[in-house]
């Protein structure tokens, strides 16, 4: 049997013991994964909905773990959402391509938005949603995608933040660097 160190997260009356991941020697971080855990996602959503601006028109998120949170936030406010991809899909036509400058990923990453979604973003007040923000690099890249598509960022939101990269980002909670 494999044992794993975990970290307890409590939010909205829900507790999860999430695994600790070591991205760099001597640094461990709680690994939040919203996929498949609707109770946890809804608890985080409940903390974020009151912080969402009233003039929000649309939610934009990045694949993959952030999708359930974006979906629940969109449903709670009766908004649509768009998912920006992390790799090019064969069906994409003239995509907006944005490199991510991130210290925490440990590897280069690129965001891809199919050009057909730009009409839905154009002149809209957009709420950016992510699962966890650490250095803020992916959130900044997501913001550049929205600006390039002609949208205005109304708010930056994340389930959790770690470290110092979350300035100006509305979150439900903080995760430590251990």
- Give the DSSP letter string of 128-169: EEEEEESSSHHHHHHHHHHHHTT-EEEEEEEEEEETTTTTT-
Give the Cα separation of 131 and 171 in Å (integer).
9
Is 94 a domain residue?
yes
Taking each helix axis from N to C terminus, what angle separates 38-48 and 67-77, rounded to the nearest 10 degrees? Answer: 50
User: pLDDT, tens digit, for every residue of 51-87?
Assistant: 999 999 999 999 989 999 999 999 999 999 999 999 9
- The pLDDT tens digits of the residues spanning 107-120 come to 678 999 999 999 99
Counted domains in the chain = 1
Residue 124: Cβ-neighbour burial (10 angstroms; 0-12, 13-18, 19+): buried
Please indicate, yes or no, if residue 145 is contained in any of the structural domains: yes
Residue at 85 is within a domain:
yes
Examine residue 140 and state whether it is found in any structural domain, yes or no: yes
CATH of residue 133: 3.40.50.2020
Specify if 21 maps to a domain.
Answer: no
Distance CA 73, CA 80 (A): 10
* Position 71 in a domain: yes
Q: Tokens in use for 143? A: 């913001």
To the nearest whole percent, how much of the chain has pLDDT over 70? 94
**Confidence band of 151 (pLDDT split at 50, 70, 90):** very high
In a domain, 18, yes or no: no
H helix or E strand, kind and range, residue 69: helix 67-77
pLDDT above 80 for 4? no
Does residue 28 form part of some domain?
no
> d(Cα 48, Cα 150) in Å, to the nearest integer?
25
Which residues form the domain of 55? 34-175
């Amino acid at each position: 049997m494999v044992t794993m160190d975990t970290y307890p997260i409590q939010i909205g009356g829900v507790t999860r013991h999430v695994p600790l991941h070591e991205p760099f020697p001597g640094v461990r971080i709680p690994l939040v994964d919203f996929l498949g855990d609707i109770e946890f996602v809804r608890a985080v959503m409940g903390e974020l909905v009151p912080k969402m601006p009233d003039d929000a028109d649309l939610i934009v998120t990045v694949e993959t773990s952030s999708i359930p949170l974006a979906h629940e936030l969109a449903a709670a406010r009766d908004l649509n959402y768009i998912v920006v991809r992390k790799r090019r899909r064969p069906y994409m036509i003239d995509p907006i391509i944005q490199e991510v400058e991130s210290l925490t990923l440990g590897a280069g990453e690129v965001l891809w938005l199919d050009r057909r979604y730009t009409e839905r973003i154009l002149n809209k007040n957009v709420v950016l949603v992510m699962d966890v923000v650490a250095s803020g690099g992916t959130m900044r890249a997501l913001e550049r995608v929205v600006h390039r598509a002609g949208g205005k960022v109304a708010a930056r939101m994340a389930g959790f933040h770690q470290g110092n990269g979350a300035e100006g980002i509305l979150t439900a909670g903080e995760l430590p660097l251990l």
